[in-house]
Amino acid sequence: MSIQKAVKTLLVVFAVTALNACLPENSAFRGASSQNRLIYGLTLEPSGFDPHIHRSSELGIPLRQVYDTLVYRDPNTKAFVPGLATEWSVSGDGLVYTFKLREDVTFHDGTAFNAQAVAANLDRIVDPATGSQRAVFMLGPYAGCEVVDDYTIRIVLERPYAALLDTLSQVYLGIASPSALNAYSTARYQFHQVGTGPFTFVELIPGQRILLRRNNAYTWGPPFYKPAGDNSIEEIEFRFYTDPSTRVLALESGEVHVMGEILPTDARLLAGNSAIQLLPVNVPGQPTQFLINTTRFPTDNRAVRQALLFGTNRNAIIDAIFQRFSPVAWGPLAANTLYYNPALNGAYSYDIAQAQALLASVGFADSNADGILDINGVDLEVNVVVPPWGLIPQIAELLQDQWRIIGVRAVLTPVPTFPALQQVVQSGAYNLVAFDTAGLDPVFLNDFFLSTGSLNWTGFTSQELDTVLTQAASAADESTRQVLYNRAQQIIMEEALLLPIRDYVNLNASRAQVQQLAFDPYGWFPLLNNAVFSGTGS
pLDDT tens by residue, 515-530: 999 999 999 999 999 9
Segment 214-228, tens digit of pLDDT: 999 999 999 999 999
- Within 8 A by CB and 6+ apart from 67, the residues are 51, 171, 174, 175, 176, 195, 196, 197
Least confident range of 148-157, 194-203, 262-271, 398-407: 262-271
What is the share, in percent, of the chain residues with pLDDT greater than 70?
A: 93
pLDDT tier at 9 (50, 70, 90 boundaries)? very low
Q: In the predicted model, is pLDDT for residue 411 greater than 90? A: yes
Residue type, 447: D
Contact 289, 434 (CB under 8 A): yes
Segment 441-485, tens digit of pLDDT: 999 999 999 999 999 999 999 999 999 999 999 999 999 999 999
CATH class (in words) of the domain with range 71-180 = alpha beta
Segment 294-326, tens digit of pLDDT: 999 999 999 999 999 999 999 999 999 999 999
**Mean pLDDT across the chain, nearest whole number?**
92
Average pLDDT score over residue span 202-222: 96
User: In CATH, what number does 288-503 get?
Assistant: 3.10.105.10
Q: How far apart are the first and last CA of the chain?
A: 38
Residue type, 159: R
Q: 100: exposed, middle or buried (C-beta count within 10 Å: 0-12, 13-18, 19+)?
A: middle
pLDDT in the model for residue 462: 97
| CA 379 vs CA 298, 300, 370, 374: distances in Å | 9, 15, 10, 4
For 442-475, b/e burial (b = at least 16 CB within 10 A) is: bbbbbbbbbeebebbbbbbebeebbebbebbbbb
Average pLDDT score over residue span 334-357: 97
Q: What are phi and psi of 154, to 5 degrees?
A: -115, 135
Find the helix packing angle between 302-310 and 352-361, rounded to 10°.
160
CATH class (in words) of the domain with range 34-52+56-63+197-282+506-533 = alpha beta
**Size (the chain), residues:** 538
Tell me the C-alpha distance between 458 and 448, whole Å.
8
Average pLDDT score over residue span 110-138: 97
pLDDT in the model for residue 130: 96
Of 485, 504, 469, nearest to 327 by C-alpha is 504
Q: In the predicted model, is pLDDT for residue 24 greater than 80? A: no
Q: Helix (H, G, I), strand (E, B), or coil: what is residue 384?
A: strand
Tell me the C-alpha distance between 293 and 478, whole Å.
32
Tell me the C-alpha distance between 114 and 103, whole Å.
7
Question: β-strand 505-511 against 381-386: which pairing, if any?
Answer: unpaired
pLDDT tier at 44 (50, 70, 90 boundaries)? confident
Q: In the predicted model, is pLDDT for residue 192 greater than 70? A: yes
Please tell me if the domain spanning 34-52+56-63+197-282+506-533 has the same topology as the one spanning 288-503: no
- Within 8 A by CB and 6+ apart from 417, the residues are 47, 387
Q: In the predicted model, is pLDDT for residue 26 greater than 60? A: no
Tell me the C-alpha distance between 459 and 455, whole Å.
9
Where exactly are the structural domains of the chain? 34-52+56-63+197-282+506-533, 71-180, 288-503
Q: Tell how many helices (H) and how many strands (E) occur in the chain.
A: 16, 22
Tell me the C-alpha distance between 381 and 495, whole Å.
20
Of 334, 294, 290, nearest to 309 by C-alpha is 290
pLDDT in the model for residue 35: 57
